Structure 1
Amino acid sequence: MRINRGLSGVRAYLRGAPGTHVWLAVLFVTTVVLHSMPPEFEENFLRHRSTNLHELSRDPVRVLVASAMWIESGRWLPYAFLYTVFHAPAERWLGTARWLAVCALTHVLASLASEALLLAAIRTGRAPLTAVDTLDIGVSYALAGVIAVLGYRIAVPWRYGYLAAVLAVFTLPLAAGPTVTDVGHLLAALSGLACHPLVRGRGKAWNPKETPARPRG
Protein backbone atom coordinates (compact mmCIF):
# COMPACT_ATOMS: atom_id res chain seq x y z
CA MET A 1 0.00 0.00 0.00
CA ARG A 2 1.09 3.56 -0.68
CA ILE A 3 0.61 4.57 2.96
CA ASN A 4 2.87 1.75 4.16
CA ARG A 5 5.50 2.62 1.57
CA GLY A 6 5.29 6.24 2.63
CA LEU A 7 5.69 5.37 6.29
CA SER A 8 8.62 3.10 5.46
CA GLY A 9 10.23 5.95 3.55
CA VAL A 10 9.79 8.32 6.49
CA ARG A 11 11.27 5.78 8.91
CA ALA A 12 14.22 5.18 6.59
CA TYR A 13 14.78 8.94 6.29
CA LEU A 14 14.74 9.40 10.07
CA ARG A 15 17.05 6.42 10.61
CA GLY A 16 19.54 7.97 8.19
CA ALA A 17 20.10 10.94 10.53
CA PRO A 18 18.94 9.88 14.00
CA GLY A 19 21.06 12.40 15.89
CA THR A 20 19.70 15.33 13.91
CA HIS A 21 16.09 14.37 14.53
CA VAL A 22 16.56 13.56 18.22
CA TRP A 23 18.20 16.97 18.64
CA LEU A 24 15.33 18.64 16.82
CA ALA A 25 12.86 16.85 19.09
CA VAL A 26 14.72 18.10 22.18
CA LEU A 27 14.72 21.64 20.78
CA PHE A 28 10.99 21.40 20.11
CA VAL A 29 10.33 20.44 23.74
CA THR A 30 12.59 23.17 25.16
CA THR A 31 11.02 25.74 22.83
CA VAL A 32 7.55 24.81 24.09
CA VAL A 33 8.86 25.14 27.67
CA LEU A 34 10.29 28.57 26.84
CA HIS A 35 7.00 29.79 25.36
CA SER A 36 5.10 28.62 28.44
CA MET A 37 7.37 30.64 30.72
CA PRO A 38 6.46 34.15 31.95
CA PRO A 39 8.44 36.68 29.87
CA GLU A 40 9.98 38.29 32.96
CA PHE A 41 11.67 34.99 33.88
CA GLU A 42 12.78 33.95 30.41
CA GLU A 43 16.00 35.97 30.09
CA ASN A 44 17.29 35.01 33.53
CA PHE A 45 16.42 31.36 32.85
CA LEU A 46 18.41 31.39 29.61
CA ARG A 47 21.29 33.27 31.20
CA HIS A 48 21.89 30.35 33.56
CA ARG A 49 22.15 28.08 30.51
CA SER A 50 24.33 30.48 28.55
CA THR A 51 28.04 30.10 27.81
CA ASN A 52 28.75 33.53 29.29
CA LEU A 53 31.91 34.13 31.30
CA HIS A 54 30.09 34.00 34.62
CA GLU A 55 28.49 30.59 34.01
CA LEU A 56 31.59 29.15 32.31
CA SER A 57 33.66 29.99 35.37
CA ARG A 58 31.17 28.15 37.61
CA ASP A 59 30.23 25.04 35.66
CA PRO A 60 31.66 24.94 32.11
CA VAL A 61 30.57 21.41 31.17
CA ARG A 62 26.97 22.00 32.23
CA VAL A 63 26.52 25.23 30.30
CA LEU A 64 28.33 23.97 27.19
CA VAL A 65 25.82 21.12 27.02
CA ALA A 66 22.78 23.13 28.15
CA SER A 67 23.40 26.00 25.75
CA ALA A 68 23.03 23.59 22.81
CA MET A 69 19.54 22.57 23.92
CA TRP A 70 17.77 25.94 23.75
CA ILE A 71 16.89 28.43 21.01
CA GLU A 72 17.13 32.00 22.23
CA SER A 73 14.69 33.34 19.64
CA GLY A 74 12.06 30.77 20.62
CA ARG A 75 11.43 30.02 16.93
CA TRP A 76 11.75 26.31 16.19
CA LEU A 77 10.58 26.06 12.57
CA PRO A 78 13.50 27.97 10.99
CA TYR A 79 15.91 25.63 12.78
CA ALA A 80 13.90 22.60 11.68
CA PHE A 81 14.43 23.79 8.10
CA LEU A 82 18.16 24.46 8.61
CA TYR A 83 18.69 21.12 10.35
CA THR A 84 17.01 19.36 7.44
CA VAL A 85 19.10 21.21 4.86
CA PHE A 86 22.49 20.99 6.60
CA HIS A 87 22.64 18.71 9.66
CA ALA A 88 20.73 15.75 8.21
CA PRO A 89 22.81 15.50 5.00
CA ALA A 90 26.01 15.93 7.01
CA GLU A 91 25.04 13.14 9.41
CA ARG A 92 24.07 10.78 6.59
CA TRP A 93 27.38 11.52 4.87
CA LEU A 94 29.74 11.43 7.84
CA GLY A 95 27.89 8.94 10.03
CA THR A 96 26.44 9.88 13.40
CA ALA A 97 29.71 9.61 15.37
CA ARG A 98 31.74 11.88 13.07
CA TRP A 99 28.86 14.32 12.62
CA LEU A 100 28.49 14.55 16.39
CA ALA A 101 32.24 15.10 16.72
CA VAL A 102 32.04 18.05 14.30
CA CYS A 103 29.07 19.49 16.20
CA ALA A 104 30.76 19.13 19.59
CA LEU A 105 34.15 20.45 18.48
CA THR A 106 32.80 23.51 16.70
CA HIS A 107 30.31 24.35 19.46
CA VAL A 108 32.86 24.04 22.26
CA LEU A 109 35.77 25.72 20.45
CA ALA A 110 33.67 28.64 19.22
CA SER A 111 32.06 29.14 22.63
CA LEU A 112 35.35 29.11 24.54
CA ALA A 113 37.35 31.14 22.02
CA SER A 114 34.71 33.88 21.64
CA GLU A 115 34.35 34.18 25.41
CA ALA A 116 38.15 34.30 25.79
CA LEU A 117 38.22 37.25 23.39
CA LEU A 118 35.47 38.93 25.40
CA LEU A 119 37.43 38.38 28.62
CA ALA A 120 40.47 40.02 27.03
CA ALA A 121 38.31 42.97 25.97
CA ILE A 122 36.97 43.36 29.53
CA ARG A 123 40.47 43.26 31.01
CA THR A 124 41.74 45.92 28.63
CA GLY A 125 38.72 48.16 29.20
CA ARG A 126 37.26 47.74 25.71
CA ALA A 127 34.14 46.05 27.13
CA PRO A 128 32.27 46.74 30.39
CA LEU A 129 32.50 44.37 33.35
CA THR A 130 28.78 43.62 32.98
CA ALA A 131 29.65 41.77 29.75
CA VAL A 132 30.52 38.71 31.86
CA ASP A 133 26.77 37.98 31.84
CA THR A 134 26.30 38.46 28.10
CA LEU A 135 23.68 36.02 26.83
CA ASP A 136 25.30 33.53 24.43
CA ILE A 137 23.04 30.55 23.94
CA GLY A 138 21.77 28.38 21.13
CA VAL A 139 22.66 25.85 18.50
CA SER A 140 24.05 28.16 15.85
CA TYR A 141 27.75 27.47 16.48
CA ALA A 142 27.41 23.76 15.72
CA LEU A 143 25.24 24.65 12.74
CA ALA A 144 27.90 27.03 11.39
CA GLY A 145 30.55 24.34 11.78
CA VAL A 146 28.46 21.74 9.94
CA ILE A 147 27.63 24.19 7.14
CA ALA A 148 31.36 24.75 6.66
CA VAL A 149 32.39 21.08 6.79
CA LEU A 150 29.78 20.26 4.14
CA GLY A 151 32.00 22.15 1.71
CA TYR A 152 34.18 19.04 1.57
CA ARG A 153 31.18 17.11 0.24
CA ILE A 154 31.25 19.22 -2.93
CA ALA A 155 33.77 18.58 -5.70
CA VAL A 156 36.32 21.16 -6.80
CA PRO A 157 35.90 23.79 -8.28
CA TRP A 158 32.31 24.11 -6.99
CA ARG A 159 33.62 23.72 -3.44
CA TYR A 160 35.46 27.03 -3.62
CA GLY A 161 32.33 28.98 -4.49
CA TYR A 162 30.38 27.32 -1.68
CA LEU A 163 33.10 28.01 0.90
CA ALA A 164 33.50 31.61 -0.28
CA ALA A 165 29.77 32.14 0.25
CA VAL A 166 29.91 30.50 3.70
CA LEU A 167 32.84 32.67 4.82
CA ALA A 168 31.13 35.79 3.45
CA VAL A 169 27.94 35.03 5.39
CA PHE A 170 29.85 34.71 8.66
CA THR A 171 32.40 37.49 8.02
CA LEU A 172 30.19 40.35 6.83
CA PRO A 173 28.40 40.84 10.21
CA LEU A 174 31.80 41.62 11.76
CA ALA A 175 32.00 44.80 9.69
CA ALA A 176 28.91 46.27 11.36
CA GLY A 177 30.02 46.18 14.98
CA PRO A 178 30.76 42.56 15.88
CA THR A 179 29.07 40.85 18.80
CA VAL A 180 30.33 37.82 20.73
CA THR A 181 27.92 35.67 18.74
CA ASP A 182 29.14 37.05 15.39
CA VAL A 183 32.73 36.22 16.32
CA GLY A 184 31.61 32.79 17.53
CA HIS A 185 29.91 32.02 14.23
CA LEU A 186 33.06 32.79 12.23
CA LEU A 187 35.21 30.78 14.61
CA ALA A 188 32.75 27.87 14.39
CA ALA A 189 32.90 27.94 10.59
CA LEU A 190 36.71 27.97 10.65
CA SER A 191 36.64 25.09 13.16
CA GLY A 192 34.37 23.19 10.79
CA LEU A 193 36.90 23.65 7.99
CA ALA A 194 39.60 22.32 10.35
CA CYS A 195 37.57 19.08 10.70
CA HIS A 196 38.80 17.90 7.30
CA PRO A 197 40.45 14.74 8.78
CA LEU A 198 36.97 13.53 9.79
CA VAL A 199 35.69 13.54 6.20
CA ARG A 200 38.34 11.24 4.75
CA GLY A 201 37.02 7.99 3.37
CA ARG A 202 33.39 9.16 3.30
CA GLY A 203 32.82 8.63 -0.40
CA LYS A 204 33.26 10.58 -3.60
CA ALA A 205 32.60 14.31 -3.46
CA TRP A 206 29.39 15.45 -5.13
CA ASN A 207 29.82 17.02 -8.55
CA PRO A 208 26.78 19.07 -9.65
CA LYS A 209 27.47 17.98 -13.24
CA GLU A 210 27.22 14.31 -12.34
CA THR A 211 24.81 12.00 -10.56
CA PRO A 212 25.00 12.77 -6.80
CA ALA A 213 27.38 10.43 -4.97
CA ARG A 214 25.81 8.21 -2.34
CA PRO A 215 27.06 8.68 1.24
CA ARG A 216 29.16 5.85 2.53
CA GLY A 217 27.66 3.77 5.34
Structure 2
Amino acid sequence: MAGTEGAPHVHRSASAAPTAPDERAVPGLDGIPRQRGPQPVAPRTYEASRADASPARRRPRLWRLLPTPAGTPFTFGYAAVLAVTSLLTQYADPSLIATLHQHSSTDVAHLTQEPVLVLVASALWIAGGIASPYAIGFLLVLTALERRIGALRTAGVFLLGHVVATLATEVPVGFSVLAGHLPDSSLHRLDYGISFGVAASVGALAGLFRPWLRCLVIAGFGGMLIDDLIAFTDPMTNWGHLLALSIGVATWPLVRRWRQSA
Protein backbone atom coordinates (compact mmCIF):
# COMPACT_ATOMS: atom_id res chain seq x y z
CA MET A 1 0.00 0.00 0.00
CA ALA A 2 1.10 3.52 -0.71
CA GLY A 3 2.83 5.17 2.17
CA THR A 4 3.81 1.95 3.83
CA GLU A 5 6.64 0.79 1.60
CA GLY A 6 10.02 1.79 2.82
CA ALA A 7 8.82 2.56 6.37
CA PRO A 8 10.80 0.64 8.91
CA HIS A 9 8.86 -2.12 10.67
CA VAL A 10 9.31 -1.80 14.40
CA HIS A 11 8.72 -4.82 16.68
CA ARG A 12 7.76 -3.83 20.24
CA SER A 13 8.94 -6.36 22.77
CA ALA A 14 7.70 -6.79 26.31
CA SER A 15 10.93 -5.41 27.62
CA ALA A 16 10.32 -2.15 25.88
CA ALA A 17 7.11 -1.49 27.79
CA PRO A 18 7.22 1.62 29.94
CA THR A 19 8.40 0.96 33.44
CA ALA A 20 6.08 1.80 36.29
CA PRO A 21 7.32 4.47 38.63
CA ASP A 22 7.91 1.97 41.42
CA GLU A 23 9.63 -0.58 39.18
CA ARG A 24 12.95 1.10 38.51
CA ALA A 25 15.64 -1.15 37.21
CA VAL A 26 18.27 -2.41 39.56
CA PRO A 27 21.63 -0.91 38.63
CA GLY A 28 23.62 -3.32 36.50
CA LEU A 29 20.62 -5.45 35.48
CA ASP A 30 19.10 -3.75 32.47
CA GLY A 31 15.46 -4.47 31.76
CA ILE A 32 14.75 -6.26 35.05
CA PRO A 33 12.32 -4.36 37.28
CA ARG A 34 13.19 -3.95 40.92
CA GLN A 35 11.54 -6.62 43.01
CA ARG A 36 8.73 -5.41 45.25
CA GLY A 37 8.91 -6.33 48.91
CA PRO A 38 9.29 -4.94 52.39
CA GLN A 39 11.55 -1.95 52.56
CA PRO A 40 14.57 -2.20 54.83
CA VAL A 41 14.13 -0.58 58.20
CA ALA A 42 16.92 1.58 59.48
CA PRO A 43 18.31 0.45 62.82
CA ARG A 44 17.15 2.43 65.84
CA THR A 45 19.71 4.80 67.14
CA TYR A 46 20.63 5.32 70.77
CA GLU A 47 19.08 8.78 70.67
CA ALA A 48 15.76 7.37 69.41
CA SER A 49 15.70 4.79 72.17
CA ARG A 50 16.32 7.48 74.75
CA ALA A 51 13.49 9.55 73.27
CA ASP A 52 11.07 6.64 73.83
CA ALA A 53 12.18 6.44 77.45
CA SER A 54 10.73 9.84 78.17
CA PRO A 55 9.25 10.69 81.59
CA ALA A 56 5.76 10.35 80.13
CA ARG A 57 6.49 6.72 79.26
CA ARG A 58 8.21 5.97 82.57
CA ARG A 59 5.52 7.51 84.76
CA PRO A 60 3.06 4.56 84.66
CA ARG A 61 5.76 2.21 85.93
CA LEU A 62 6.56 4.53 88.83
CA TRP A 63 2.89 4.83 89.74
CA ARG A 64 2.65 1.04 89.91
CA LEU A 65 4.68 1.21 93.12
CA LEU A 66 1.68 2.79 94.88
CA PRO A 67 -1.79 1.29 95.43
CA THR A 68 -4.72 2.16 93.19
CA PRO A 69 -8.44 1.42 93.62
CA ALA A 70 -8.61 -0.76 90.50
CA GLY A 71 -5.18 -2.39 90.55
CA THR A 72 -4.77 -3.07 94.27
CA PRO A 73 -8.15 -2.67 95.98
CA PHE A 74 -7.16 -4.38 99.24
CA THR A 75 -4.02 -2.30 99.80
CA PHE A 76 -5.71 0.91 98.68
CA GLY A 77 -8.75 0.44 100.94
CA TYR A 78 -6.69 -0.68 103.90
CA ALA A 79 -4.31 2.28 103.45
CA ALA A 80 -7.27 4.66 103.44
CA VAL A 81 -8.47 3.24 106.78
CA LEU A 82 -4.98 3.52 108.26
CA ALA A 83 -4.73 7.11 107.07
CA VAL A 84 -7.98 7.96 108.88
CA THR A 85 -6.89 6.31 112.14
CA SER A 86 -3.48 7.98 111.90
CA LEU A 87 -5.07 11.41 111.50
CA LEU A 88 -7.35 10.59 114.41
CA THR A 89 -4.32 9.70 116.53
CA GLN A 90 -2.63 12.98 115.64
CA TYR A 91 -5.53 15.38 116.14
CA ALA A 92 -7.99 13.74 118.56
CA ASP A 93 -7.91 14.06 122.32
CA PRO A 94 -4.96 12.04 123.72
CA SER A 95 -7.10 10.43 126.43
CA LEU A 96 -9.56 9.20 123.80
CA ILE A 97 -6.75 7.73 121.71
CA ALA A 98 -5.25 6.01 124.76
CA THR A 99 -8.61 4.42 125.50
CA LEU A 100 -9.05 3.26 121.89
CA HIS A 101 -5.56 1.79 121.82
CA GLN A 102 -6.14 -0.01 125.10
CA HIS A 103 -9.39 -1.57 123.87
CA SER A 104 -7.71 -2.57 120.60
CA SER A 105 -4.72 -4.17 122.31
CA THR A 106 -4.09 -7.87 121.68
CA ASP A 107 -2.89 -8.49 125.23
CA VAL A 108 -3.69 -11.71 127.03
CA ALA A 109 -6.65 -10.22 128.90
CA HIS A 110 -8.41 -9.07 125.71
CA LEU A 111 -7.50 -12.19 123.73
CA THR A 112 -9.21 -14.38 126.31
CA GLN A 113 -12.36 -12.24 126.26
CA GLU A 114 -12.78 -10.92 122.69
CA PRO A 115 -10.13 -12.56 120.50
CA VAL A 116 -11.63 -11.85 117.07
CA LEU A 117 -12.53 -8.25 117.87
CA VAL A 118 -9.11 -7.25 119.19
CA LEU A 119 -7.22 -9.12 116.44
CA VAL A 120 -9.10 -7.04 113.87
CA ALA A 121 -9.07 -3.78 115.83
CA SER A 122 -5.35 -3.96 116.61
CA ALA A 123 -4.58 -3.99 112.88
CA LEU A 124 -6.36 -0.66 112.35
CA TRP A 125 -3.59 1.37 113.99
CA ILE A 126 0.01 2.14 113.04
CA ALA A 127 2.38 2.10 116.00
CA GLY A 128 4.64 5.09 115.46
CA GLY A 129 2.32 7.01 113.17
CA ILE A 130 1.86 7.33 109.44
CA ALA A 131 5.50 8.29 108.87
CA SER A 132 6.90 5.15 110.54
CA PRO A 133 8.99 2.69 108.49
CA TYR A 134 6.27 0.06 108.73
CA ALA A 135 3.70 2.46 107.26
CA ILE A 136 5.94 3.07 104.24
CA GLY A 137 6.71 -0.63 104.01
CA PHE A 138 2.99 -1.37 104.09
CA LEU A 139 2.35 0.73 100.98
CA LEU A 140 5.28 -0.55 98.93
CA VAL A 141 5.33 -4.21 99.99
CA LEU A 142 1.61 -4.94 99.96
CA THR A 143 1.17 -3.08 96.65
CA ALA A 144 3.90 -5.19 95.03
CA LEU A 145 2.54 -8.41 96.54
CA GLU A 146 -1.06 -7.70 95.55
CA ARG A 147 -0.11 -6.92 91.95
CA ARG A 148 1.49 -10.37 91.77
CA ILE A 149 -0.93 -12.67 93.62
CA GLY A 150 -4.19 -10.74 93.94
CA ALA A 151 -6.15 -9.00 96.68
CA LEU A 152 -7.63 -11.92 98.64
CA ARG A 153 -4.37 -13.85 98.74
CA THR A 154 -2.44 -10.78 99.86
CA ALA A 155 -4.98 -10.23 102.62
CA GLY A 156 -4.54 -13.88 103.62
CA VAL A 157 -0.75 -13.56 103.89
CA PHE A 158 -1.04 -10.36 105.93
CA LEU A 159 -3.69 -11.83 108.23
CA LEU A 160 -1.71 -15.04 108.71
CA GLY A 161 1.37 -13.16 109.88
CA HIS A 162 -0.65 -10.80 112.07
CA VAL A 163 -2.66 -13.50 113.84
CA VAL A 164 -0.05 -16.23 114.21
CA ALA A 165 2.74 -13.92 115.38
CA THR A 166 0.39 -12.20 117.83
CA LEU A 167 -0.77 -15.47 119.39
CA ALA A 168 2.76 -16.86 119.44
CA THR A 169 4.00 -13.89 121.46
CA GLU A 170 1.04 -13.42 123.79
CA VAL A 171 0.19 -17.01 124.73
CA PRO A 172 3.62 -17.60 126.35
CA VAL A 173 3.05 -14.42 128.39
CA GLY A 174 -0.17 -15.90 129.76
CA PHE A 175 1.51 -19.16 130.73
CA SER A 176 4.40 -17.26 132.32
CA VAL A 177 1.95 -15.28 134.45
CA LEU A 178 0.20 -18.50 135.53
CA ALA A 179 3.55 -20.00 136.44
CA GLY A 180 4.48 -16.95 138.48
CA HIS A 181 7.40 -15.91 136.28
CA LEU A 182 5.74 -12.62 135.22
CA PRO A 183 3.54 -10.18 137.17
CA ASP A 184 -0.19 -9.89 136.52
CA SER A 185 0.38 -6.52 134.83
CA SER A 186 1.85 -8.41 131.85
CA LEU A 187 -1.67 -9.58 131.02
CA HIS A 188 -2.48 -5.99 130.01
CA ARG A 189 0.59 -5.30 127.90
CA LEU A 190 -0.26 -2.75 125.20
CA ASP A 191 0.08 -4.43 121.80
CA TYR A 192 -1.35 -3.14 118.52
CA GLY A 193 -0.20 -2.27 114.99
CA ILE A 194 0.41 -3.66 111.51
CA SER A 195 4.07 -4.61 111.85
CA PHE A 196 3.54 -8.39 112.10
CA GLY A 197 1.46 -8.42 108.93
CA VAL A 198 3.98 -6.26 107.08
CA ALA A 199 6.87 -8.49 108.16
CA ALA A 200 5.05 -11.58 106.87
CA SER A 201 4.30 -9.80 103.59
CA VAL A 202 7.98 -8.90 103.17
CA GLY A 203 8.92 -12.54 103.61
CA ALA A 204 6.28 -13.70 101.12
CA LEU A 205 7.19 -11.08 98.52
CA ALA A 206 10.88 -11.99 98.69
CA GLY A 207 10.01 -15.47 97.42
CA LEU A 208 8.88 -13.96 94.10
CA PHE A 209 12.14 -12.11 93.46
CA ARG A 210 15.27 -13.25 91.64
CA PRO A 211 17.69 -15.19 93.90
CA TRP A 212 20.15 -12.31 94.39
CA LEU A 213 17.40 -9.82 95.25
CA ARG A 214 15.64 -12.36 97.46
CA CYS A 215 18.80 -12.88 99.52
CA LEU A 216 19.34 -9.13 99.72
CA VAL A 217 15.81 -8.47 101.03
CA ILE A 218 15.85 -11.28 103.58
CA ALA A 219 19.34 -10.40 104.81
CA GLY A 220 18.61 -6.67 104.99
CA PHE A 221 15.20 -6.87 106.65
CA GLY A 222 16.15 -9.81 108.86
CA GLY A 223 19.31 -8.03 109.96
CA MET A 224 17.28 -4.99 110.98
CA LEU A 225 14.97 -7.18 113.06
CA ILE A 226 17.88 -8.95 114.73
CA ASP A 227 19.43 -5.58 115.54
CA ASP A 228 16.19 -4.53 117.22
CA LEU A 229 16.16 -7.77 119.20
CA ILE A 230 19.72 -7.22 120.39
CA ALA A 231 18.75 -3.75 121.59
CA PHE A 232 16.26 -5.55 123.89
CA THR A 233 13.84 -2.64 124.12
CA ASP A 234 10.74 -4.80 123.40
CA PRO A 235 11.85 -8.44 123.07
CA MET A 236 8.36 -9.93 122.73
CA THR A 237 7.51 -7.70 119.78
CA ASN A 238 10.96 -8.19 118.24
CA TRP A 239 10.60 -11.97 118.43
CA GLY A 240 7.16 -11.57 116.86
CA HIS A 241 8.67 -9.70 113.90
CA LEU A 242 11.20 -12.45 113.26
CA LEU A 243 8.47 -15.07 113.54
CA ALA A 244 6.23 -13.14 111.12
CA LEU A 245 9.09 -12.91 108.62
CA SER A 246 9.58 -16.67 108.90
CA ILE A 247 5.86 -17.21 108.31
CA GLY A 248 6.12 -15.20 105.11
CA VAL A 249 9.10 -17.27 103.97
CA ALA A 250 7.11 -20.44 104.70
CA THR A 251 4.46 -19.30 102.20
CA TRP A 252 6.87 -19.30 99.24
CA PRO A 253 5.47 -22.49 97.64
CA LEU A 254 1.96 -21.03 97.86
CA VAL A 255 2.73 -17.52 96.62
CA ARG A 256 4.74 -18.89 93.69
CA ARG A 257 1.85 -21.12 92.71
CA TRP A 258 -0.58 -18.21 93.12
CA ARG A 259 1.54 -15.98 90.92
CA GLN A 260 1.49 -18.53 88.10
CA SER A 261 -2.29 -18.79 88.29
CA ALA A 262 -2.90 -15.04 88.70
Q: Does 1:154 align with 2:209?
A: yes
Work out whether residues 46 and 72 of structure 1, in 8 Å CA contact, stay in contact via their aligned partners in 2: no
Trace 1:81-160 onto structure 2 (pairs within 5 A). Answer: 81-160=136-215
Match of 1:207 in 2: none
1:64 corresponds to which letter in structure 2? Answer: L
Q: Does 1:194 align with 2:250?
A: yes
Task: Tell me the distance in 1 between the aligned counterparts of 2:169 and 2:90.
Answer: 28
Greater length-normalized contact order (CA 8 Å, ≥ 6 residues apart): 1
Q: 1:51 aligns with which of 102, 106, 126?
A: 106
Match of 2:218 in 1: 163
Distance 1:156 1:63, change over 3 A: same
Work out whether residues 67 and 76 of structure 2, in 8 Å CA contact, stay in contact via their aligned partners in 1: no
Work out whether residues 170 and 185 of structure 1, in 8 Å CA contact, stay in contact via their aligned partners in 2: yes
TM-score by length of 2: 0.68
Give 1:29 shift: 1.1
**CA deviation profile, 1:27-77 (whole Å, cap 9, x unmatched):** 11112222333223322320110111111111000000111111233x214
Task: Tell me the distance in 2 between the aligned counterparts of 1:17 and 1:82.
Answer: 15
Gaps of at least 5 residues in structure 1 are: 205-215
Q: 3-state DSSP class of the match of 2:257?
A: coil
1:186 corresponds to which letter in structure 2? Answer: L
Task: Tell me the distance in 2 between the aligned counterparts of 1:13 and 1:27.
Answer: 13
Q: 1:26 aligns with which of 81, 86, 102?
A: 81
| Stretch deviating more after TM superposition (180-189 or 135-144) | 180-189
Task: Tell me the distance in 2 between the aligned counterparts of 1:83 and 1:158.
Answer: 19
Work out whether residues 102 and 192 of structure 1, in 8 Å CA contact, stay in contact via their aligned partners in 2: yes
TM-score by length of 1: 0.81
Distance 1:33 1:117, change over 3 A: same
Flag the structure with larger Rg: 2
**CA deviation profile, 1:77-125 (whole Å, cap 9, x unmatched):** 4455322321100111111121111011110000111101222332343
Q: 1:66 aligns with which of 108, 114, 121?
A: 121
Structure 1 residue runs of 4 or more that deviate by more than 6 Å after TM superposition = 9-12
Q: 3-state DSSP class of the match of 2:207?
A: helix
Work out whether residues 206 and 214 of structure 2, in 8 Å CA contact, stay in contact via their aligned partners in 1: yes
Q: Does 1:76 align with 2:130?
A: yes
Give 1:201 shift: 3.0
Query: Identity over the aligned pairs, expressed in percent?
Result: 31
